[in-house]
Structure 1
Amino acid sequence: MESENFADDLSTALVAVQRLIRRRLRIGVGAPRLRGAEVELLRLVAGRPGIGVSDAARELYLAGNSVSTLVNQLARDGYLVRETDPADRRAARLMPTEAAEARLRDWRERRTALVRRQVARLDDEDRKALEAALPALRKLAENLHEEAEET
């Protein structure tokens, strides 16, 4: 039986892990700090080059004008390029720059190394428990994504 506090304990632990990873990764970064929404947008565009602003807004569950503001800032900083959509001259397609790709690659490599080091500090039982929990955590993320799309 699920304890009364399980959902709260799980969400608290997930938020704490994510927050601590972000804080540790900020140390030693020479470039100006990117906000969470900026990183999410960069990751989305890098994964789906050519995505439009409205599709990006929908995917990130943000208002279109908020994404436009993020796009303007990231373009000014040299991380995104707006190209005119040949199918609709009024629309823009977003493309990552080499600087964005490099920054995301560096972040991903540093994040992987950080988590690898911390997982190595755990005993075998805890490492196996985390590995066994991955499918359930992926399913939880999928459920959250689906629920957000329904609303």
Structure 2
Amino acid sequence: MTRTGPVEIDEQTQLAARLRLVVGRLHRRIRIDGRESVPPLQLSALVTVEQHGPMRLSELARREAVSAPTMSRVLSALDEQGLVIRTPDPNDARGVQIVLSDAGAAKLAEVRSHRTALVARRLGRLDDDERRRIADALPALEALLVDED
């Protein structure tokens, strides 16, 4: 275990605040500039279904940290757009599982491609040294995504 002095804690807190602010603002800019036709919760639900495979509404609601009625409305909208498919649950004849449709997979690919292009344009405004520093920082930033045990 490493010890951190008061000055280092203050610097770490300041770094955390700056990182939080820039990541939040960049994310918001990408969302605003993207003008996607799929609202954020619907998009998040699509990604969750894609990553975790067929799942029941209750599991999807838990993973998205929303109520079952909220998720039911989200799934109804996604179903109306043909982005998900409801299939019988093989373990429970009364239940259904949600799977991503081909149209849902295509919509996710479209959104990702569009958002990547938006970030690429922003990166294009930076000089080579700034882009290299961002590339060098990516492994550390990706490590922040790993949950603590």
Corresponding residue for 2:144?
140
Residue 9 (structure 2) pairs with residue 9 (structure 1):
no
Corresponding residue for 2:118?
114
Q: Which has the larger radius of gyration?
A: 2
- Residue 4 of structure 1 and its aligned partner are, at CA, apart by 4.3
Corresponding residue for 1:72?
76
Q: Which runs of 5+ in 1 are unaligned?
A: none
Q: In the alignment, which of 1, 19, 36 is matched to residue 28 of structure 2?
A: 19
Provide Cα deviations, 1:36-62, integer angstroms capped at 9, x if missing partner.
111000111123331222222222222
- Residue 10 of structure 1 and its aligned partner are, at CA, apart by 1.2
Residue 129 (structure 2) pairs with residue 125 (structure 1):
yes
* Change in 2 beyond 3 A, CA 1:4/1:95: closer
Give the distance between the partners of 2:140 and 2:61, measured in 1 at CA.
27
Q: Which runs of 5+ in 2 are unaligned?
A: 1-7
- Residue 131 of structure 1 and its aligned partner are, at CA, apart by 1.3
3-state SS of 2:146 partner: helix
Superposition map of 1:54-73 within 5 A:
54-73=58-77
Using the aligned pairs only, state the percent identity: 30
Residue identity opposite 2:58 in structure 1? S
* Change in 2 beyond 3 A, CA 1:66/1:142: farther
- Residue 3 of structure 1 and its aligned partner are, at CA, apart by 5.1
3-state SS of 2:82 partner: coil
Of the structure 1 ranges 2-11 and 35-44, higher mean CA displacement relative to structure 2 is found in 2-11
Of the structure 1 ranges 96-105 and 11-20, higher mean CA displacement relative to structure 2 is found in 96-105
Q: What root-mean-square deviation, in Å, do the aligned CA atoms of Structure 1 and Structure 2 show? A: 1.9
